[in-house]
Amino acid sequence: MNSKKIVTEFKKSSASQGGQQECVEVAHTADGGRAVRDSKDPGAGLQFYGPGHWAAFIDGVKAGVFEG
């Protein structure tokens, strides 16, 4: 069992409202990181990212690193 404490409710992007099926939900953790889960199956498990890894991911998104 992971001991990370989730300190906020899970949220998903407002852009994913309206029938989109491929969504993730994100919550803040006590250490400043994030917990991520699949919105279609929230009980399937969580992935945890520390503050530094989450910041690097967001920087990559903003820079277009993950665009296909």
Q: What's this model's pTM, rounded to 2 decimal places? A: 0.78
Nearest to 48 by CA among 56, 36, 30: 36
Residue 15 pLDDT more than 80? no
| Summary mean pLDDT of the chain | 89
Residue 34 pLDDT more than 50? yes
The DSSP 8-state label assigned to residue 66 in this structure reads T
Residue 22 pLDDT more than 80? no
Q: Which two tokens stand for residue 44?
A: 């399937």
